[in-house]
Amino acid sequence: MHNLTLAEIARNLAEKRFSAEELTRTTLARIEQLDPQLNAFISVTDELAIEQAKAADARRAAGENGVLLGAPIGHKDLFCTQGIRTSCGSKILDNFKAPYNATVVERLAAAGTVTLGKLNMDEFAMGSANESSYYGPVKNPWDLTRVPGGSSGGSAAAIAARLLPAATGTDTGGSIRQPAALTNLTGLKPTYGRVSRWGMVAYASSLDQGGPMARTAEDCALLLSAMAGFDAKDSTSVDQPLDDYLAALSQPLAGLRIGLPKEYFSAGLDPKIADAVMASVEELKKLGATVTEISLPNMQHAIPSYYVIAPAEASSNLSRFDGVRFGYRCENPVDLTDLYKRSRAEGFGDEVKRRIMVGTYALSAGYYDAYYLKAQKIRRLIKQDFVAAFEQVDVILGPTTPNLAWKLGEKNADPVSAYLEDIYTITANLAGIPGLSMPAGFIDGLPVGVQLLAPYFQEARLLNVAHQYQQVTDWHMRAPAGF
Amino acid sequence: MALERTEVEKIAHLARLGLSEADLPRTTETLNNILGLIDRMQAVDTTGIEPLAHPLETTQRLRADTVTETNQRDAYQAIAPAVEDGLYLVPRVIE
């Protein structure tokens, strides 16, 4: 049962081979047995899951047949869940039970999904390894001595280990795509504004985007169909009709124009990853695609620009965590400033404090123009690169990450080296375009991801290309030993 | 430009983050490494380029100026560290 995809679960539930309650109980037992090896879950929501599963069975018995009705999922622990801890991987929110549900949670629940728990993550989604969580690092099921990637590392590890068929993630600089690549999953960062951010704990508001993580593009299409769409509660939500993501999957790829950015294949990329990526290109050519070399000349400036914009927005967003209205408060504060300073110093971890300080500095008097404004100008240059590239090609293809999953602790002493792991993913967040990572092979037993980028709101195209690729390859079907 | 210890203390104060004496040297070094990375963008010519604040360059959507939220004070205060009579408690501010 645990090896089934969402699409396969839907068929089995519809054919009454098992009930949602049976599936949920089996899944809960598997989480209890195997998660201690991974640390993928912060909270397991047993009671809620059984209750939702029974409700799904009742709805099905009453004649409903929605594809996600009774499907088990997990939520990254920054999506607010009413009455259930929403920690954001932080001590400062360890005692926080949201009084409401995020729109994404609400929509997936309305579609009949069963929430099995809240998934571990880098604290406030800041990280590329899932080592900065207050609840401890998550292990990569392909090699338990290695990181699963971050910040949606709990979501990634849980799906890769077959503890869940699918989960939500969020992507501010690559946090869906990078862990998907390092754990052999399909993960989609939609266009900025396509999926509501209401009820997502904000890190960098102009970059954060929620999206689906699963084993196949088909499953991501199923989830996106339920998650996406206009939300009046989110002022950045885009009021534009959705595509039929499932129908788009079967489109043939004949005539598809793929662009390979030369900057993605330069120094810094593991040559074995480059070989795997090019092998995926050959498969897509067999399916009828044509390939052109393109250039994204400002890509090299994306990381410096991101590490000004994201911390600047974080320093503003995280000012709400002050120990006054919710969350952690220090013991016996002597005055209000002491309450703020000690609550935040004791509640936040090192990486969060680092980014808040970088952001505070970048926005402080005298430095705004040199840092924040400069970064926003570079952001436009990066967007212009994509606009120009998409005049020549339909999708852009390259590696998702420059390296394979690294050893736990390997980059802890040097945060800057970890920042560089997001070099291929960050540009999509700065420009706001959609991006997808799909499994494309293995090197020394570790997964390799290929990234696809498309123009605004062309998630259907990304899912279509990945699905067609997954019809002729089986990388995405492979499971880690022991799970 | 490299940050000095006093500047790091000032930034920590602006961010309302307590910083211990023992943490200062390591924090200063790490921040300077990050600023070294960030400063690479100063080499980019951005003359005449308009800053991009929102990826889709849309304007803020407005809504009718009417109350839509219900009063949920009890729900919000149920998760507060300290409340009394519907108010949030903090240390004395005015002597």
Residues A47-96: tens digit of each pLDDT: 999 999 999 999 999 999 999 999 999 999 999 999 999 999 999 999 99
Which of chain A's residues have a Cβ under 8 Å away from the Cβ of B27? 353-354, 357
Q: Does the pLDDT at position A317 exceed 90? A: yes
Q: Does the pLDDT at position B76 exceed 90? A: yes
A210/A198 Cα distance (integer angstroms): 10
Q: What residues does each domain of chain B span?
A: 5-36
Active-site residue, from A43, A128, A132, A151: A151
Task: Tell me which residue has tokens 């099905």.
Answer: A60
Q: Does the pLDDT at position A130 exceed 80? A: yes
Q: Of A97, A117, A107, which is closest to residue A47 (Cα–Cα)?
A: A117
Check residue A84 and report its DSSP letter: B
Which of chain A's residues have a Cβ under 8 Å away from the Cβ of B42? 370, 374
Q: What is the pLDDT of residue A406?
A: 96
B41 and A308 in contact by Cβ < 8 A? yes
Mean pLDDT calculated for residue range A170-182: 98
Sheet holding A435-443, edge to edge: A41-44, A114-119, A72-76, A166-170, A210-214, A186-189, A435-443, A446-453, A395-399, A257-261, A290-294
Alpha helices for A287-433 (secondary structure H): 302-317, 336-347, 350-363, 374-389, 415-419, 426-431
Is the Cβ–Cβ distance between A292 and A260 less than 8 Å? yes
B41 and A375 in contact by Cβ < 8 A? yes
For the B5-36 domain, the top CATH level (class) is mainly alpha
- Work out the end-to-end distance of chain A between its first and last CA atoms, rounded to an integer number of angstroms: 13
A262 is catalytic: no
Band (pLDDT 50/70/90 cuts) for residue A186 is very high
Average pLDDT, chain A: 97
Both structure tokens of A267: 């120094």
Q: Does the pLDDT at position A116 exceed 90? A: yes
> Distances from the Cα of B17 to the Cαs of A111, A338, A367, A421, in angstroms?
42, 9, 20, 28
A361, A364, A379, A417, best to mutate vs chain B, most B CBs in 10 Å: A361
Cis peptide before A151 (omega within 30 of 0): yes
Q: What is the pLDDT of residue B1?
A: 62
A130/A145 Cα distance (integer angstroms): 13
Residues A226-275 have pLDDT tens digits of: 999 999 999 999 999 999 999 999 999 999 999 999 999 987 899 999 99
A139/A137 Cα distance (integer angstroms): 6
Q: Of A293, A282, A299, A285, which is closest to residue A259 (Cα–Cα)?
A: A293
B68/B88 Cα distance (integer angstroms): 24
Mean pLDDT calculated for residue range B23-49: 94
Which of chain A's residues have a Cβ under 8 Å away from the Cβ of B14? 360, 364
A414 and B33 in contact by Cβ < 8 A? yes
Q: Does the pLDDT at position A165 exceed 70? A: yes
The larger pLDDT score, comparing residue B60 to residue B88, is at B88
Minimal Cβ distance to A378: which of B44, B54, B58 = B44
Both structure tokens of A112: 């009949």
B79 and A206 in contact by Cβ < 8 A? no
pTM comes to: 0.97
Nearest CA in chain B to A381: B49
B80 and A340 in contact by Cβ < 8 A? no
Mind listing the domains of chain A with CATH numbers?
Answer: 6-254+458-477 (3.90.1300.10)
Is the Cβ–Cβ distance between A344 and B18 less than 8 Å? yes
Question: Which segments within chain B are labelled E, that is strand?
Answer: 83-84, 87-88
% of residues, chain A, pLDDT over 90? 96
Minimal Cβ distance to B15: which of A304, A308, A357 = A357
Residues 6+ apart with CB under 8 A from A26: A1, A2
Minimal Cβ distance to A99: which of B39, B72, B90 = B72
Both structure tokens of A342: 């000690």
Active-site residue, from A128, A175, A305, A315: A175
CA dihedral of residues B49, B51, B54, B57 (deg, nearest 10) = -40
A272 is catalytic: no
Residues A138-150 have pLDDT tens digits of: 999 999 999 999 9
